[in-house]
Amino acid sequence: MRHEPKIFVAGHRGMVGSAVVRCLNAQGRKNIVTCTKAELDLTQQQAVRDFFAREKIDQVYLAAGKVGGIHANNTYPAEFIYQNLMMEANVIHEAWQAGVKKLLFMGSSCIYPRMAAQPMTENALMSGPLEPTNEPYAIAKIAGIKLCESYNRQYGTSHGTDYRSVMPTNLYGPGDNYDAQNSHVVPALIRRFHEAKICRAPTVVIWGSGTPLREFLFVGDMAAASVHVMDLDVPTYAAHTKPAQSHINVGFGSDISIAALAFKVANVVGYTGAITFDKSKNDGPPRKLLDSSHLKNLGWQPRVALKPGLVLAYADFCKKKSVLNNIEINTGHDKLESDTAKLIGWPGVNGHNHHMTVQQMGTSAL
């Protein structure tokens, strides 16, 4: 009988980790271990050591981490670097100590220099200064890559250690954080336009000029890419990476201006007021686009385009709002939502009682 690997998904309640669990389940992999933070604090080395000794894990998807938008990174830099470093170091080292052969570390495109040549290839890593606002987070993610490479370098031959890294572009989708202060751009726009629609605000003001170009990937595609990379045989993975530059970019392949994104989100949400841009606010880098040719050469392609992905993200937002406020919300995109969910094998998107009329909704400033 074929051995089914016991898989630990660290961070299964986050957007990426929950998507990985769904992807693995859709492929029929049932031997999956998850733990809440209350059950296992990954910043505590002894707790992580005891977990691996007890559970006898075969594979690890390291999706856990402290994440947030510009405001959160600016406000909590010590928390971002400390917590991410501790989680990575503890999980990677204790996985190795317990004999785990396969691990996939999930990073971020913020590892690349602020003014890196576009599109950004894997060899742009550490070729220039990082974006100051999220430098502590980026340094932690770079450390995660180097931890994986170092353990492979020292223990690959003697212990069969095979630890890999993927670096996604900006992610969005079900499971995202829609907090008013600490969210990324897509969930922030979804919340802002939804609240503007409910209170009939005549105008929504977006910070910045709207001209910067950004790339966005649906989280279900990120999960599928992660499982794809984990499942590659060693010779194939080695042929497309370097021992000291082993990470693989995961992107959609094209970018969009923040202004165009704002209008797309407004359309999906159903906001019909005016949209203006506050050019006094910082834009950040003019462009951020990953070169994902290595991954595409390995046989993977994204499946979810931006609009249907935004529809699923808005449905997720509405579901959370309806549960929180005991109301029911109609996204207005039932068929596109259903068709996209079927395309990617997304379970239970329809039938969650979020396709009716808004009865009441409180608003808060973003």
How far apart, in whole angstroms, are the C-alpha atoms of residue 20 and residue 317?
19
Q: How many CB atoms lie within 10 A of CB 286?
A: 11
Is there a catalytic annotation at residue 137?
yes
Q: How many CB atoms lie within 10 A of CB 249?
A: 25
Which of 137, 151, 172, 314 is catalytic? The answer is 137
Question: Buried b / exposed e across 112-140, counting CB within 10 Å, b at 16+?
Answer: bbbebebbbbbebbeeeebbebbbbbbbb
CB 277 within 8 A of CB 257: no
**Pairing mode, strands 7-10 and 59-62:** parallel
Q: How close are the terminal C-alpha atoms of the chain, in Å?
A: 55
354: Cα separation from own chain's centroid: 24
Question: What token pair was written down for 42?
Answer: 């990954």
Report the catalytic residues.
137
